[in-house]
């Protein structure tokens, strides 16, 4: 006789029916799957964007790494650097090399569109200031001008705008040592051209001798 209620009693050795876990959890709504996939794609895209915007060109990264391996003053001389006997000259319209007073043998140059100091480089063309003829502007042979953008110095094509002409104009004054010059930004007069490692920026002076040396240049005829 079956127990009251009609339920079956399983005896020893008899298999009990198993409730499938898939029945409880296996049915995932397609919308959930799509949301997870979209989240993974978005995370990947964000990571790629951050990498792209924070990475610097390989050439510039190599220059920074090389400069960090030795004191700046120990930078080797280069065939492109001005002969030691030449001595500094006055900045004027024409072709010149601007040698770092802090890192002798390195000059202002264009690398991947960014302004740096490096042991190689053809120098720059100097013209009357785009925004002030009493000052100067610097450009490459293909007429890309040295200008600041976000305080970083780079070489860009002149777009003819009032902002560009001001960004691309620098006024020389006496540097940290005799025979050197410092280039002051025309539209940010409390900022001067200054190299951080090999990268060139316009920065406010912190009053230190190191800053003054890294903001001073010796002018050589190219």
Domain ranges of the chain: 26-54, 58-221
Topology of the domain comprising 58-221: Trefoil (Acidic Fibroblast Growth Factor, subunit A) (2.80.10)
- Supply the pTM of this predicted model: 0.66
> What is the predicted pLDDT for the residue at 105?
94
Q: What is the pLDDT of residues 118-175, one digit of tens each?
A: 997 889 999 999 999 999 999 999 999 999 999 999 999 999 999 999 999 999 999 9
- Pick from 167, 166, 174: nearest CA to 219: 174
Distance CA 206, CA 192 (A): 11
Q: What is the pLDDT of residues 83-105, one digit of tens each?
A: 333 567 899 999 999 999 999 99
């Amino acid at each position: 006789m079956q127990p009251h209620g009609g339920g079956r009693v399983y005896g020893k050795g008899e298999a009990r029916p198993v409730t499938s876990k898939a029945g409880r959890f296996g049915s995932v709504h397609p919308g959930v799957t799509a949301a997870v996939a979209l989240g993974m794609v978005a995370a990947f895209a964000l990571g790629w964007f951050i990498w792209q915007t924070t990475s610097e060109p390989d050439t510039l990264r190599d220059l920074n790494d090389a400069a960090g391996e030795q004191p700046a003053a120990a930078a080797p001389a280069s065939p492109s650097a001005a002969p030691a006997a030449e001595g500094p000259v006055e900045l004027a319209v024409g072709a010149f090399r601007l040698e770092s007073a802090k890192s002798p043998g390195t000059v202002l140059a264009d690398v991947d569109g960014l302004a740096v100091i490096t042991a190689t480089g053809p120098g720059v063309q100097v013209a009357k200031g785009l925004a002030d003829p009493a000052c100067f502007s610097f450009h490459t042979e293909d007429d890309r001008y040295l200008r600041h953008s976000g305080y970083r110095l780079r070489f860009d094509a002149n777009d003819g705008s009032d902002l560009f002409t001001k960004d691309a104009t620098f006024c020389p004054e006496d540097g940290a040592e005799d025979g050197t010059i410092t280039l002051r930004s025309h539209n940010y007069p409390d900022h001067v051209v200054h190299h951080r490692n090999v990268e060139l920026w316009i920065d406010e002076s912190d009053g230190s001798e190191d800053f003054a040396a890294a903001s001073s240049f010796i002018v050589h005829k190219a």
